[in-house]
Amino acid sequence: MLSHSPTEHRVPSSIYTVVQPQQPTMAMDLSSAYEQQQEGRVEEVFAVINDNGDLLAEVLGRLDGRSLAAAGCVCRVWAGVSRRESVWEAVCGRHVEGGAAAGAGARPVVAALGGYRRLYRLCLGPAADRLGAAARLSLSLSLSLFSIDCYERRLGRERGHPRPASLLFLDHYNPVDVS
């Protein structure tokens, strides 16, 4: 039987849980786990994905935007991981002309302008909906639009404007709300 780790939020010190016949599962680190396996004392070595945020991030980062947003509704661990900028950076990289390599140096700028998650929600996601498989937005165009949005928010804050509207032209297709 599987037993979950005592708390979901504990930072996993061990990666793998080990099953021994008729014994409760045990958490231990990777090298001990393999040692025990070599010695034939374990049947199964597996990892609980919720213990391993990085692994989860790797997996979720391969999803498309909508699925990733949906994944964020599964549980608190998943919600936390799915909000990581690195995950959305991977998603954005797949929607941009030139792929992830093109955007490598853009990280500080994207972070300053509002982050990859927002970049996807406001620009790349709606653009993907609009353009379909036909074309991909160039990084420069998407960042230009993103910078306009960021600037409008700054302007709006002073004047109490509800919401920057320059990118609303992308909105007509009801993009996924990942907030």
Partner 1 sequence: GRSDRYFKKKKEKMKRGHQDILHGGGGWYAVAPEMERGKRKTTMGAAEEGGDVDELLAALGYKVRSSEMADVAHKLEQLEMAMVSSAATNDDALLSHLASDTVHYNPSDLITWVDNILSELNAPPPPLPTPQSLPSADAYDLEPLPALPAPATPLVLGSDPQSEVAPSPRDRKRMKVCSSPPSSSTTTDAATSAAAALPVVVVDSQEAGIRLVHALLAGAEAVQQDNLKAADALVKQISLLATSQGGAMRKVAGYFAEALARRIYRPQPRGGVGCCSFDSVAFDDMLHMHFYESCPFLKFAHFTANQAILEAFAGCRRVHVVDFGMRQGMQWPALLQALALRPGGPPSFRLTGIGPPQPDNSDALQEVGWKLAQLAESIRVDFRYRGFVAASLADLEPYMLLDQDADGGGGGKDEEPEVVAVNSVFELHRLLARPGALEKVLGTVRAVRPRIVTVVEQEANHNGGTFQERFTEALHYYSTMFDSLEGGAAAAGADDGGPDQALSEMYLGRQICNVVACEGAERTERHETLAQWRGRMDRAGFEPVPIGSNAFKQASMLLALFAGGDGYRVEEKDGCLTLGWHTRPLIATSAWRVAAPAEDPLSALAAR
Kindly state the helix (H) or strand (E) to which residue 27 belongs, with its residue range: strand 26-28
Among 50, 127, 175, 178, binds partner 1 (CB under 8 A): 127
* 3-state DSSP assignment of residue 19: strand
d(CA 74, CA 146): 29
Beta carbon nearer to partner 1, 76 or 154? 154
* 3-state DSSP assignment of residue 10: coil
CA distance to 4, 18, 97, 100, per residue, from 25 (Å): 9, 5, 47, 40
151 binding partner 1? (CB under 8 A): yes
138 binding partner 1? (CB under 8 A): yes
Beta carbon nearer to partner 1, 84 or 136? 136
* Binding region for partner 1 (CB under 8 A): 105-106, 108-109, 112-113, 126-127, 130-131, 135, 137-138, 140-141, 143-148, 150-152, 154-155, 158, 165-166, 168-170, 172
